[in-house]
Amino acid sequence: MKVFYDLLSFIVSICIFPFEFLKRDPAVRHRWARQKWGIGSHGPHDIWIHAVSVGEVLAASSLVNEVNHRRPDIKIALSTVTDTGQIVAKNNMQDTTVFYLPWDIRHVAYRVMDDIKPRLIVIMETELWPALIWSADYRNIPLVILNGRISDASYSGYRKIRWFMKRLLSKVSFIGMQGQTDLERIRNIGAPEKISAVTGNLKYDVEPPASSTLSNEPSTNLFWLNILKRPVWIAGSTHEGEEEKILDAYRQIISRGTNLTLILAPRHPERFQAVEKLIKQAGFSCLRRTDINAGSSNTGSLPASKVLLLDAMGELATAYSAADVVFMGGSLSPAGGHNILEPALWKKPILFGPHMENFRQMAELFIQEDACIQVATPEDLTSAVTTLLADPEKAAAMAGRAHNILRRNRGASIRCSDIIESYIENRH
């Protein structure tokens, strides 16, 4: 089984390598290529954390901060799959070594383990890479899963290969899940009860980014937030098929005489150009965030007919601080939604669509406590944004309830750090 998996993984890696290499920025291509094959020297680290992309990296940041606070002597290395994850990790965890997760082939994993020499490996959420898990088991390195969750789609797929999942999960040292439903699901697909428990959701513990102080000074990357014409509507982490609906709603709102600045922030960088084209096709002028520089003629307030395209990575989480209303993307299109705690952290009123499958329990809690508005159509979106802008007290009350939910559910980073410390202490 393991040999067959390695062979299959090697073939797949070779096949996708050219595409993955060429789609990346030339500045990172060669580093990405070397690290995918386990080439490079990072030196010994106590903990290797894997967080696939932005959401997992932000959750990992609260854990890393807690571990560093307790044990400043511990060295941490963090791997990601995506380029955006790399950028956010470097911005939020400056004392942490950041690299790309290698291909899931045992001998490649061994090469990285020989370099890093981790005393513990932590997988964020449920990134179950068989070769990595097998390699850790073979090298007698404890591997734990923290902040685990299983979506409806993943659960359905895992159940079909329960025989395989049961054997794989038996090699994991501990599994900490976000909630009771996630715990029941991981146990139903084979996780032993004695090594699995609810540890909470680390996303509730995320603090404002280090660069969260707004400034008019050009030397500050976020100075542009202060030149926005208010009020501001941010549509964050949008996916294909959503921007047209958002622009339609925006047109309806400003046609009623409402002055409103729209910021569109596509989830994936490769879509920036396509979204700019959509904005212009909809009849709006488009200003890209990367075109706003010190001394630029574009640094004045935006006119009502201009849409700002946020094409600078790592700024969205702080940009929410300047919003008057936030729509969370990935929820009108069936992409599973994104993290609504980021705007909740700033006490902003939140809208999202019907597709929040990846944040099911969180979305249900927000709906139950009237801490958000769920929309299904551009008309719903138009109505919700208009209502919140017209009634600041209602908007503030709803945002306050969202913030209270966030504060009330904190504590996962402490519980997860306790688990990490117990394994580190046993590996002296």
In sign, the C-alpha dihedral spanning 232, 326, 204, 52 is: negative
Around 308, how many Cα atoms within 13 Å sit in the side-chain half-sphere?
Answer: 31
For residue 299, the 8-state DSSP code is G
Q: Which residues are catalytic?
A: 56
- Residues across the chain: 428
146's tokens: 């923290």
Closest CA to 247 of 264, 224, 231: 264
Contact criterion met (CB below 8 Å) for 313 and 88: yes
Rounded distance, CA 366 to CA 375, Å? 14
353's tokens: 């669509």
Closest CA to 385 of 252, 226, 229, 230: 252
> How large is the angle between the packed helices 54-70 and 83-92, nearest 10 degrees?
30
Q: Cβ contacts of residue 165 below 8 Å, gap of 6+?
A: 128, 158, 189, 190
Angle at 177 between CA 209 and CA 374, to 5 degrees: 65
**Structure-derived torsion over alpha carbons of residues 63, 64, 69, 72, reported in degrees to the nearest 10:** 150
> How would you write 52-91 as a 3-class SS string?
CCHHHHHHHHHHHHHHHHHCCCCCEEEEECCHHHHHHHHH
Rounded distance, CA 203 to CA 149, Å? 12
Rounded distance, CA 396 to CA 336, Å? 27
